[in-house]
Structure formats: C-alpha cells, structure tokens
Chain A
C-alpha cells in the first residue's frame, strides 16, 4: 500500500464532528458501507466535507442494532441506519445541530429514546480493556493507533526493560490464556524463553471456531495493531524472530485489516529488522487456515502451518520445546496478545486489580441467542451471568423465561437459570461443568430443548473430529446417534447410562482437548436437565416443544378469531376452517414448521 496518499500522513484537518460508523462484520453485512457512502455523498452535497469527517471503525459491539454510528463530540448513538435515513440525519444533526430522536436507541417499548452512548446500559455497564479503542479509531490507519497510546508499550519494553522483566510483568499481572484453557501467559512465555534454540517462533491463534463466537474476529477488525504490538512485545520477551498469525479464510475483513496493519507497521519499522532502532528483529507472516475446529488445538495448528494434516500429537514435547519446524514455539490467542500492551502501559498491578482471585483482567464475550442486545461484551472477570444477560443483554425478548446460558462453545456446557448469580471466572465455570472457552455465550429461553441442543453440538463435533483417536471419532458419533434417537422419540431408558459411560471413555482416552471436552454438552445437560431427557425417553414428549417427532400443533378454538393469517402462510395448506371461525390443523399434512405459531397474533396455536 502506498502510504503517501493516505490522509494520515498529512497534517490532520480540523473537523467539528466525527461520524464513527461501524464497519465490523455485523454492521457491514447490515450494509453499513452503503450508509457510509450515502453519508459521504450527502455531506459533500451540503458543503460540509471540510467540517465533518467520516470514520469507518471496527466493531462497536452492539451488533443487534446495526448498522450503528456514533457522532462525536456530541456522543450521540444512532442505530439501524439505512441510506434513506441519511438526508434527514445530515440536515437535522449536522446542519442544524438537532440530534434525530427517531434514529436513537429505545430500551423498551414505550420508553423515550436514549441519545447518549454513555447512557445506554449495554455500553455503560461494560468495562473495556481489550476493546478500549473499539469504535474510536480507523483500524486501517496506524497513526490513529499511535495517537491512542499505540506502540508505546513496545517502545517501553525495548528501551527500558529486559526480556526477563517483561516476562515478570506479565506473570505478576496474572494474565491467563484467553483461548480456552486459561494457562498463565507469563509462565508460558518463560518456558519458551528458557527453551534452548537460536531461532524461536510465536504464533497468534486466530482460528476462532466456536459457532456463534466472534470475539477474536472483532478484535482484529477493530484494533489489529494491538494484536501486532502484543506479539512484538512477546517476541522480545521470548527471544523469537518469526511470528505467524493463523487465521481462518472465512474472515476476509479481519484478514484485510491485518494485512494493512502489518504493511503499515513494517513501513514504520515496527516490524522487520532493527525495530524502533533498538536492534530487535521480528516479522509476522499471515497464514490462512481452512477453518477446522481442531486447528484451535496447538499441535494441530502447528501441523496445519507446516502443511501437514492438522492432527494433534502427543505432548511432550510441548510446542515450547519443539513446535513449528521443530523450533521452540509459543502460541497465544488473539485476545491474550491484545491484553499485553495495556499491561505494559498501565502496569501489572493495575491489571491484577481487575477481576477475581484466580482470574485477572476482563473477558470479551460474544453474547448471542435469546437475548435482546446481542453483541460483543467486555466485562471484568467475576461479573455474574445475571449482569451480562439482564443488565447488559437486556434480558430475554418476548417476555419469555430464561432457561440457561451455554458458555465455552461446543466444548463448554449449559448453566441453568438457577445458577444465574454465578460470578464468571475460569474456576467457577469449571465447577459447574462448563468452561470459559474463548468466550462464546449463548442465551437460551424456555423454548430451547436441551436434548436438541446437545444433539446440535455433538453433530458439530462429530464433523470436526480429526479422526485420529478412535474414542473421539467413533465415540462422539455414537453419542450423537443416541441423542438423535432420543430427539426422535426412539430413546430407551438405558440410553442415559450408556451416554454417561461413552462420555467417560471419550473424555479420558482422547489425545487432545477436542475429544477431552466433547462430552461436555451432554454431561452438563444431563446434570441440570436430566428430566428433559427422561421426558423424551419415557413420555415421548419434548417439554420445550422443539423436537418435531414428539410434538404436534393444534389451534385453541377459544382463542382463534378466524383471521386466517396462519392459513395464508401455511406452506402445506394444512389449516382449514371458515373465516371468522376457529381453524383446525390437519395432522397428516402438517410438517411442524411452526409458521402458523409465528403468524398468530392471538397466541391460539398450541404445541404439545
């Protein structure tokens, strides 16, 4: 990229307003680039191009409301923008200085709109450490990163600290791996540093594979230099000269921004030879993965980087002793690397003051599922599930009841509603049978069937098992078939003890964490929701009304007004009756798709 034609290289102009429009993947797929183009056109048409600057930022977190935009210095938050909203917005807010209420966030129906970002619970209840620059800078401009403390931590370690002091600082901070297992980062670095070898590697694991998780993706999209800076600091501490970012091909935007960031950092001498004139040499290569879940496992990832089939291997030797190409190798996840610069800048003590006894700092979660405010959330370790689901997430939509929260992705477990006040850290989650994982969090309401959920994760895992260990390859598939049969109403009472037995074998006899944790979805749902399995098996009934073979739809003749809305939408013409009279469903034709239930305004469609 030619740096000369980037505006950042010139003297920045004075603007009276910055429009920070979200260009994270969520908002982009909701067409935020079209909104940006419309804004550019309208602002030019109005002659405001010299006064108002448009900045495309990384993910700002409130993905449910996208495309979103923040207007500074007014701190006004706009949501769900379309190109059609742009002329009004420019006329009112930017020409006349009147923020537009109709485009603001409304917490609950009937409540007044909230103009200021800082007054919206979703934002105000979070604590940003890793994401502290989210939405505040253009991730494709290195000068904006440098303008906000960027590369200061690197300059500090290179000029004022020895590698051992750097490792000590990370150790004292209490930072633990954010990829899942929670291994102490400083200790990991120390092992790699002490490992003999003249050339060493560090790897950034950006192979985020949990369904519904997008923390690492968003960190790279919104603040790629933070990851790079963390890696360069790590390279100095460990004594590594080569770095790799292993990222999945299906993250095109993250990959693009990563490439731009690496180019810019090289141009500035922040990567390559003689970094910042201090004699330290380190460069980073981006390696694209094809998106296999098993590549999140360190030795599989190394195999994939070397061009081999990604299969885990026996440890020891650990990667720190013999990793990529046989060199001592240190692997950390994206979020772990992004934590490093702020620890150096603000100090280990500051970082260690956030969080719980055993888990320091914050954690980024992608909160999805049956929750009003889906999005990217960063909170201190020790925050309760209740705070995340209700205060930040805005609760379960549609007046439904919360059933539980699934954390940790396919390797994680389900936490029931009764444990909603659980403070989240590595140990507390393990105690209740789940894991931190990389930070996926799926909120489930009363209409989620726990047996079906276990079936879903087993289906995912049997496809992602690399097949090396028999227990994982055959065991997970066998567990899947049993659970699927239960969902179909073909379960036997002996299935539950069989599942538990298989789970033990898969957990104990598989080489890597994929197999080791694969039974978690079954074990945790059996632990807290055994009655649902029993209802499926003994009563041939799905209490949540999800498993198709076990439910049937009927229309309540008292509530049905005969509006015919369901009749018109039924794809099988299975609903009959006269207008303004109660309708009936033909059970032989009904495919149980649920469209009638969604379309009924009178809650007259019943599932049993």
Chain B
C-alpha cells in the first residue's frame, strides 16, 4: 500500500462519498421504486437493476435509490417516485427499462420532468 500524502485523503473521501451519502439519507435526489407484490410482478425489479447500473456507470455519489411498498395504483405498475432536493415528488408509471433510462438522464440528472411518462406531481395528503 502506497503511503498517503495529504491530498490523497481527498481522493479516498471522494471515492467513499456515495456510501456515506446513503448512510446519512441525504442526497441530491431520492428515487423510490415501488415494490409491492403488484410492482414486482409487473417488473419493478428490472427497473431497480437498471437504475443501480446507471448510477454505477455514471459514478454518481449523491443519489439515493430506495424501495417502498405498493403506491396504490397497481394497474399502472411498475412505478417510481423521483424527488429532487427541494422539489415536489414526481410519480412515473408504466415504466420500462428504456423509459427509466430517459427519466434518469432527463429528470434525475437533468432536472427536467419527463411529462409524457409522469402521472403527476406531488403526493397524497398525509393526515
């Protein structure tokens, strides 16, 4: 193992940032794939795998991928919710791998909502 110089600490920290972001639960964006029974049978697993691959490929360290249960609209699964920091969440429906890639580049990275795949902006009111 090479001996470190002060600037090498930054390099290691950058490499570790993705893991650390996840553990703090804070990042630029939070993407939730709905994985209830309905979502899984409609192919949510493939959507999740696609997202994980994209994040890995692009070397992104501040996007949190997570799962949740059924979103309540089983007929439109697979679904995901994209929540950019300080923006209202956007729900996407009837996802495929191609649609996921477009949403990833346009919305998650680019900040532009892909209106044609979106169900709507916002979430239900919580009592």
Contact = CB atoms under 8 A, between A and B. Distances in A.
Interface of A: 3, 11-18, 20, 50-51, 53, 72-75, 94-98, 136-137, 143-144, 146-152, 155, 158-159, 267-270, 274, 276-278
A276 B5 contact: yes
Contacts of B67: 16-17, 94-97
B5 A18 contact: no
Contacts of B32: 97
Nearest to B16: A147
Given A143-B16, A150-B9, 18 more contacts: A12-B16, A14-B55, A14-B56, A16-B67, A17-B22, A17-B66, A72-B25, A73-B22, A74-B25, A94-B67, A97-B68, A98-B69, A147-B15, A147-B16, A148-B20, A268-B3, A269-B2, A277-B6
Interface residues of B, number: 38
A15 B40 contact: no
B15 A151 contact: no
B75 interface: no
Interface string B52-77: 10011000000011111100000000
Report, nearest first, the 3 A-B pairs whose CB atoms are least far apart: A147-B16, A269-B3, A97-B67
Interface in B77-109: none
10 contacts: A13-B56, A15-B19, A15-B52, A17-B66, A74-B25, A74-B66, A97-B35, A146-B9, A147-B20, A267-B1
Report which residue of A13, A94, A278 has the largest number of chain B beta carbons within 10 angstroms of its beta carbon. A13
Contacts of A148: 16, 20
Interface of B: 1-6, 9, 12-13, 15-20, 22-25, 27, 30, 32-37, 40, 48, 52, 55-56, 64-69
Contacts of A13: 56
Given A72-B25, A95-B35, A96-B37, A143 B52 contact: no
B120 to A, nearest CB: 20
Contacts of B19: 12, 15, 18, 53, 144, 147
B48 to A, nearest CB: 7
B11 to A, nearest CB: 9
A270 B12 contact: no
A97 B66 CA distance: 8
Contacts of A276: 4-6
Contact of A50 (B9, B52, B55): B52
Given A12-B15, A18-B19, A147-B12, A159 B6 contact: yes
A12 B20 CA distance: 11
A267 B3 CA distance: 7
Nearest to A4: B1
Contacts of A73: 22-25, 27, 30, 64, 66
A263 B49 CA distance: 37
Nearest to A12: B19
A112 to B, nearest CB: 14
B37 A268 contact: no
A11 to B, nearest CB: 7
Contact of B69 (A96, A136, A149, A278): A96
A50 B17 CA distance: 18
Given A50-B52, A277-B5, A14 B68 contact: no
A144 B16 contact: yes
A416 to B, nearest CB: 42
A43 B66 CA distance: 16
Contacts of B24: 72-73, 136
Given A97-B35, A147-B16, A136 B6 contact: no
A90 to B, nearest CB: 12
Most buried by A among B4, B33, B35: B4
Given A14-B18, A146-B13, A147-B12, A72 B23 contact: yes
